[in-house]
Amino acid sequence: MSQPRRDVVLSSGVQVAMAAPSVDGTVYDLGYAPHEGTRLGRRAAIRAMFVDGSRRVLGLRRKAMTKVLPWGLIGAAIVPAAWVVALTFVMAGFTLEDAGPFGDPAVFFEFIGMLAMFFVALVAPALLIPDRQHGVLAIYASRPVRASDYLFARAATLVALTFLFMLIPHIIVYVGISSLYEDGFRAGLVENGKQIPEILGTIAAYVLAYGAPAFLISVFVRRVPIATGVYVFIMFMTGALIEAMPRATELLVFKVMAPLALFWNPLSVRDWLFDQEAEQWALDRVGFEPWVGAVAIVLITVVTAVIAQRRYRKEF
């Protein structure tokens, strides 16, 4: 017995006659549909890489284990800030005339600086290395993205997250100490706000001084744990230079090595910005002014940018 005919119209408009099967079915035209939306260009790509890097580092929309280290460090940075405010509250007897010894932002950098170094050691390798491991750079290169765009987005992520990592505890201290001011909260904000430029400048020094070496190491090392370990080792080794450096030395070798004491350069910048006496850091031991630390940080950052650009130019 012959089967009845059915006419099927494809999306292309062609009418095709075919035998009707025993079970009713539908024929679909699954042709390629080009993108008809707005093409956002390089700026949107850079913004997307910034957002992607932030989510990756903080473990957002990822497994719970990826959140332990970054958020643990963030919590470890906030707890000392809350402790400083509580201790100042107890020692001052509910009100105080100034920030006191615990709420001094210059002193607080000695609490937060070490944690910032470990945070950078976690962030920089996670931003750069997985893209090379998993071949993601080839995908970026197929878009209107240059090597400089990629590096800028990753560096911006590192700078922004580390800056916030150090800024948020300072905001807690600033607001908490101001709330204890004897003339009122608003007067406390005004009085303690006089040091905001010094705080922001010192944070920037920490971000660049610790971020640039971590970024440079992550450009070449192929595994995230190895890059983290190498960075921490180098930072501690440069920090140990101060123990091997004689006080008030005039030897040329130590004058050359002093600016390479990467761990101590931000503290020299802090002393310079807060106009306080240097505490025998590496630069001070060889007779350099504290502002030399800022020069060393900028030079190392520029060298890192040039080397990274040359390294990634081959990938794009």
Domain ranges of the chain: 42-313
- CB distance 54 to 60 below 8 Å: yes
Q: How distant, in Å, are the alpha carbons of 153, 254, 267 from that of 245?
A: 38, 7, 17
Selection from 46, 216, 55 nearest residue 147 by Cα:
46
Going by the DSSP 8-state scheme, the letter that residue 260 receives in this structure is: G
Q: Which residues, at least 6 apart from 17, have a Cβ–Cβ distance to it below 8 Å?
A: 5, 6, 7
**Tokens describing residue 217:** 């190491």
Q: Are strands 5-9 and 15-19 parallel, antiparallel or unpaired?
A: antiparallel
Closest CA relative to residue 310, chosen from 208, 214, 219, 217:
219
Token pair, residue 51, equals 């957002």
pLDDT at residue 103 in the model: 67
pLDDT confidence of residue 10: 44
Which residues of the chain carry a pLDDT beneath 70? 1-37, 92-103, 248
pLDDT digits (tens, 9 = 90+) for 276-303: 887 778 888 888 899 999 999 999 999 9
User: DSSP label at 15?
Assistant: E
Residue 279: what pLDDT? 72
Q: What pLDDT, on a 0 to 100 scale, did the predictor assign at position 14? A: 46
How far apart, in whole angstroms, are the C-alpha atoms of residue 22 and residue 26?
13
Q: What is the pLDDT of residue 231?
A: 97
Q: Are the CB atoms for 124 and 158 separated by under 8 Å? A: yes
**pLDDT > 70: percent of the chain:** 84
**Rounded CA separation 278/43 (Å):** 43
What is the rounded CA–CA span in Å between residue 47 and residue 157? 10
CA distance 143 to 171: 40
Q: What is the pLDDT of residue 95?
A: 55
3-state secondary structure of 142: coil
